[in-house]
Chain A
Amino acid sequence: MIELNRICKTFRVAQRSAGMREAAKALFRRTYSEIHALQDVSFCIGDGEMVGYIGPNGAGKSSTIKVMSGILTPDSGSCVIDGCVPWRDRQAHAANIGVVFGQRSQLWWDVPVIDSFELIRDIYRVDEGLYRQSLDELTELLDLSSILRTPTRQLSLGQRMRCEIAASLIHRPRILFLDEPTIGLDAVSKLAVRDFIRRINRERGTTVILTTHDMQDIEALTERIILIGRGRILLDGTLDALKARHSTLRQITVAFTAGTPSPADRPLPAGFSLISASEDRVTVAIDTEIVSVSDAIEGLTRGVDVRDLSVAGQSTDELVVSLYEEFRI
Chain B
Amino acid sequence: MTAGRGLRPYLSFFRIRFLCGMQYRTAALAGIATQFAWGAMNLLAYRAFYAADPSAFPMTLEQISCYVWFNQAFLTLFMLWFLDADIFAAIRDGGVAYELIRPLDLYRIWFVKNLATRAAKVTLRCLPILVVACVLPKPYGLTLPVSAAAFLLFLVTMLLALVLVVAFCMLIYITTFYTMNPLGVRIVATSMCEFLCGAIVPIPFMPDGLRRVIELTPFAAMQNLPFRIYSGDIAGTELVQGIVLQLFWIAALILLGRLMMRHALRRVVVQGG
Contact = CB atoms under 8 A, between A and B. Distances in A.
A66 B105 CA distance: 18
Interface stretch (A26-34, A119-127, A293-301): A119-127
A116 B267 CA distance: 30
B12 A119 contact: yes
Contacts of B273: 57-58, 62, 103
A232 B136 CA distance: 73
Contacts of B267: 73
A99 B101 contact: yes
Interface stretch (B53-61, B90-98, B195-203): B90-98
Interface stretch (B16-24, B171-179, B224-232): B16-24
A117 to B, nearest CB: 11
Contacts of B269: 11, 72
Contact of B23 (A72, A94, A110, A123): A110
A119 B13 contact: yes
A103 B20 contact: no
Interface residues of B, number: 27
A73 B264 CA distance: 11
B22 to A, nearest CB: 11
A47 B5 CA distance: 30
Contact of A122 (B9, B19, B94): B9
Contacts, number: 75
Contact of B101 (A70, A115, A116): A70
B207 interface: no
B270 A66 contact: yes
Nearest to B86: A109
Contact of B20 (A91, A97, A111): A111
A69 B12 CA distance: 23
B272 interface: yes
Given A95-B103, A111-B16, A66 B272 contact: no
8 contacts: A66-B270, A70-B101, A71-B101, A92-B103, A104-B94, A115-B16, A122-B11, A123-B13
Interface of A: 11, 57-58, 62, 66, 69-73, 90-92, 94-95, 97, 99, 101, 103-106, 108, 110-111, 115-116, 118-119, 122-125
Given A91-B105, A116-B16, 15 more contacts: A57-B273, A58-B273, A71-B268, A72-B268, A91-B103, A94-B102, A99-B97, A101-B97, A103-B272, A104-B95, A119-B12, A122-B11, A123-B102, A124-B102, A125-B9
